[in-house]
Structure 1
Amino acid sequence: MAQNNLKKINILLADDHHLVRDGIKSLLLKYNDFNVVGESGNGVEAMEILKATEEPIDLVLADINMPEMNGLELCKQINEHHPKTKVIMLSMLDHEKYVSQALQAGAKGYLLKSVNEEELIFSIKQVMYNSFYVCAELAYKLLSKSLMGVRIGVSQNQQVKVDFSSREIEILELIADGYTNLEIAEKLFTSKRTVEGHRLQMISKTGVRNTAALIKYCLIQGVLKANLPD
């Protein structure tokens, strides 16, 4: 019978929670593909293991929050001193800034600790095949946020230009110059209530939230001209 000559993936676990390391280790050892060669509670210990281990370590599964040296600094150190060793961040932190920081530090993957066994195994193999991997839950969250930003941007860029009457423009110009409703009414020989009605009507037309936003909108749309000092 032919012997399986496929090399196992040597993995180092770096997490300051002993129970977390035990759980990951017991999970990985169920598979013939993996060999857990070491465990550390912080980045300093992890670097010492990397230096001392004779057989090369292929992958480090590291938490971000660790004492003495955190996962991001550990990742930088690994990329500098052990460039052939890949790093996957395994964290509870799901904000995009941590994913960005991990990428900048040289990580090849980012997983939330809520991932299931199947995705953890898949991610390790993906990263070992020179692919970057972000867990599905986090990828979905980041994509949803990105698409929301696109929709907001499209909505803002596609605002329909509103037509104002000559009286509304007069009132707009006086509002922009800092006049109150009463002062505008006196200047235009009308009532304060009429001025306020025009103001509310313009806010309704443009769909903005308040008078300041109305002025900003009209400046952007060219309805009002900015009065700059000479």
Structure 2
Amino acid sequence: MDDIRVLLVDDHRAVLEGFVARIENEPGVAVAGTAVNGVEALEKAKILKPDVVLMDISMPVLNGIETTKLFSQNHPETKILILTMHDNREYIQKVMESGASGYILKDVSLEEMINAIKTVNDGASYFCQSSSKALFDMVKESRKSENKKNILSQRETTVLALVAKGLSSKKIAQQLDISVRTVETHRQNIKHKLNVSSTAEMVDYALRNKLT
């Protein structure tokens, strides 16, 4: 069975050399080459045809996220494994949207790094433990938000959307042909169901859930 050909991409030469030293003697894995930014990685991929690209996110010229998108378009057969110091939801979400197959931190063990490379090469996804937790939290919050949206009645959703547009209770009442008291009741019910206490929080919720 042929070795998995890996292209290492990082803008710090010392980091690249360290990763080369870590994995070049591992059975089943071969370092095909290195690159210091996304543009160079794409150029080298044309020649080296790596199976897996192990790539940093924060790089000059072309960052890891944009590079991954271009790899997905131009080298769809190549799997991208993001290797980074950043462990936050924003990065992980962008990585998932860009088409990468996995996300690991630079301080993972050599064993986990090799396992991640082999996993994505086989066509599966790989996320290290801390990023998996962040993903789980994202899904949980998304479901919680969706559940909140579902518990609002259609009329309450309409009232909330109008509140978010800046309409007063009086104007909402006129637009919906209901009494101001009814609008106020809807507003109180919305606050209770969403577990918020102010109009600002209602507006924030409406904007985040694209109700306007």
Q: 1:188 matched to which residue of 2?
A: none
1:23 is matched with which residue: 18, 43, 63? 18
Change (3 A) 1:219 1:141: closer
Matches within 5 A, 1:52-67: 52-53=47-48, 56-67=49-60
Residues 56 and 64 in structure 2, CA contact (< 8 A), matched pair in contact too: yes
Report how many aligned residue pairs link the two structures. Answer: 162
**Residue ranges of structure 1 left out of the alignment (5+ in a row):** 1-5, 159-214, 223-230
Matches within 5 A, 1:14-93: 14-53=9-48, 56-93=49-86
**Residue ranges of structure 2 left out of the alignment (5+ in a row):** 152-185, 194-212
Percent of aligned pairs sharing the same letter: 34
Change (3 A) 1:144 1:26: same
Residues 83 and 106 in structure 2, CA contact (< 8 A), matched pair in contact too: yes
Q: 2:122 matched to which residue of 1?
A: 129
Change (3 A) 1:218 1:95: same
Cα deviation 1:28-71 (Å, max 9, x = unaligned): 11212111111111011111111233xx3101001111010111
Q: Return the structure number with greater helix share.
A: 2
For residue 54 of structure 2, give the secondary structure of its aligned residue in structure 1.
strand
TM-score (norm 1): 0.61
CA distance in 2, matches of 1:24, 1:33: 16
CA distance in 1, matches of 2:43, 2:98: 19
For residue 7 of structure 1, give the secondary structure of its aligned residue in structure 2.
coil
CA distance in 1, matches of 2:138, 2:70: 31
For residue 77 of structure 2, give the secondary structure of its aligned residue in structure 1.
coil
Residue type of the alignment partner of 1:100 = Q
User: Comparing both chains, which one has the higher relative contact order based on Cα–Cα distances under 8 Å and sequence gaps of 6 or more?
Assistant: 2
* Misfit runs of 4+, over 3 Å: 144-155, 215-222
TM-score (norm 2): 0.65
Q: 2:94 matched to which residue of 1?
A: 101
Instruction: Tell me how large the CA RMSD over aligned residues is.
Output: 3.0
Higher Cα Rg: structure 1 or 2?
A: 1
